[in-house]
């Protein structure tokens, strides 16, 4: 097993990792969710929080169905809780994982035991002699610098290897979206075109993934926000002076949180306007 590589993380990275870890804990506890990615909403599947686990399984199966037939050895970059790696191992692939989160790496280790090398580090910092037939980024490419990610991928792929990305990208729009995440699609495509990688598949699954935003919006509106308001009321009632001070001291942060999480303007329709969710399969070609 690979050792733990300690790297200094910036504040944003730490918040993002903690956000994913909280998402994993709450998703598992309240909704029995095992995965940390969007769901793939097939026709006829009712868009309801109770069906998120089905949509997530659909996504995992959809993704796995696009692994090239010749592949044997896969590197799962940003493996989350290790669920996709587990499915791949059960299908007979050899799978190594990369996870910069100590917590998520622990979850993956529990699930995968000795069946996988889990490199606990950022992908950009990964050091290994191993080479892979497929390097898989399931909703993790958005967190990695494009050029650094491509260079690292080319160095770790076997000569006929593939890079498989399933992730959201930002469309080029004048208006700014309040839904965060994703590299700018055109910039990504222009950058990849400079590298010895040939596009094999480019599937737009935005329609199938957009309903996730409606589900999250609904959850924040009808469960998270009312709970936060009640807790605030409770604190004001019990610790009136202290809660007034906190509200005043952190007024800017509180209003930022309200704008970010409790504005209810993040909808599936908006997602379609500003984002493009793609499955992209590239084959390593001869260096030019
Ligand atoms: C949205 S989760 C997706 C998890 C998993 N791939 C899945 O599909 O369920 C994003 C994952 O990317 C990982 N990640 C974030 N930045 C990374 C980096 N620089 N290198 C490797 N993994 C990273 C996170 O720890 C997390 O596991």
Please tell me the least confidently modeled range out of 128-137, 139-148, 244-253: 244-253
pLDDT of residue 208: 96
How confident is residue 278, by pLDDT bands cut at 50, 70 and 90?
very high
Residue 276 Cα to ligand 1 midpoint, Å, equals 19
pLDDT of residue 287: 59
Residue 201 Cα to ligand 1 midpoint, Å, equals 22
Task: Kindly list the protein residues whose Cβ atom lies closer than 6 A to any atom of ligand 1.
Answer: 17, 20, 35-37, 77-80, 84, 98-101, 104, 122-124, 138-140, 143-144
Residue 79 Cα to ligand 1 midpoint, Å, equals 6
Locate tokens 């996730």: which residue? 212
Tell me the percentage of the chain whose pLDDT exceeds 70: 96
Closest C-alpha to ligand 1, atom 15? 143
Please tell me the least confidently modeled range out of 3-12, 163-172, 218-227, 244-253: 3-12
Strand ranges for the chain from DSSP E: 73-77, 94-98, 118-119, 132-138, 157-170, 183-184, 197-204, 275-284
Query: What CA–CA distance (Å, rounded) separates 151 from 140?
Result: 16
Closest C-alpha to ligand 1, atom 24? 78
State mean pLDDT over 166-190.
90
Locate tokens 């699930």: which residue? 111
Tell me how crowded residue 262 is: count the other CB atoms within 10 A of its CB.
13
How confident is residue 251, by pLDDT bands cut at 50, 70 and 90?
confident
Q: Which of 95, 83, 80 is nearest to 16 (CA)?
A: 80
Name beta bridge partners: 36.
Answer: none
Residue 156 Cα to ligand 1 midpoint, Å, equals 18
pLDDT of residue 94: 97
pLDDT of residue 71: 96
Residues 16-68 pLDDT 10s: 778 788 877 877 777 777 777 899 999 899 998 889 999 999 999 999 999 99
Given the CA of residue 80, which atom of ligand 1 is nearest to it?
Answer: 27
Answer whether residue 272 shows pLDDT above 80.
yes
pLDDT of residue 8: 53
Residues 60-115 pLDDT 10s: 999 999 999 999 999 999 999 999 999 999 999 999 999 999 989 999 999 999 99
Answer whether residue 4 shows pLDDT above 60.
no
Answer whether 139's CB lies under 8 Å from 56's CB.
Answer: no
Answer whether residue 3 shows pLDDT above 60.
no
Residue 247 Cα to ligand 1 midpoint, Å, equals 34
Given the CA of residue 76, which atom of ligand 1 is nearest to it?
Answer: 6
Residues 113-141 pLDDT 10s: 999 999 999 999 999 999 999 999 999 99
How confident is residue 9, by pLDDT bands cut at 50, 70 and 90?
low
């Amino acid at each position: 097993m690979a050792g733990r590589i300690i790297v200094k993380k910036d504040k944003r990275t730490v918040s993002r990792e903690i956000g994913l870890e909280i998402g994993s804990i709450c998703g598992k506890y309240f909704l029995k969710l095992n995965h940390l990615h969007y769901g793939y909403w097939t026709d006829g599947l009712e868009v309801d929080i109770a069906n998120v686990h089905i949509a997530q399984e659909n996504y995992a199966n959809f993704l796995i169905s696009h692994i090239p037939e010749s592949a044997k050895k896969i590197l799962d970059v940003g493996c989350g809780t290790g669920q996709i790696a587990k499915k791949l191992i059960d299908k007979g692939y050899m799978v190594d994982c990369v996870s910069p989160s100590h917590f998520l790496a622990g979850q993956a280790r529990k699930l995968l035991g000795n069946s996988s090398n889990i490199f606990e580090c950022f992908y950009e910092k990964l050091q290994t002699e191993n080479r892979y037939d497929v390097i898989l980024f399931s909703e993790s490419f958005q967190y990695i610098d494009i050029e650094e990610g491509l260079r690292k991928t080319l160095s770790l792929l076997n000569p006929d290897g593939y890079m498989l990305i399933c992730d959201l990208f930002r469309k080029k729009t004048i208006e700014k979206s309040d839904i965060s995440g994703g590299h700018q699609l055109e910039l990504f495509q222009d950058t990849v075109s400079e590298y010895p990688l040939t596009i094999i598949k480019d599937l737009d699954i935005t329609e199938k993934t957009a309903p996730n935003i409606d589900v999250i919006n609904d959850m924040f509106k009808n469960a998270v926000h009312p709970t936060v308001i009640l807790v605030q009321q409770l604190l004001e009632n019990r610790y009136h002076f202290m809660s007034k001070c906190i509200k005043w001291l952190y007024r800017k942060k509180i209003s930022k949180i309200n704008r970010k999480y409790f504005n209810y303007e993040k909808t599936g329709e908006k997602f379609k306007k500003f984002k493009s969710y793609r499955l992209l399969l590239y084959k390593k070609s001869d260096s030019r």
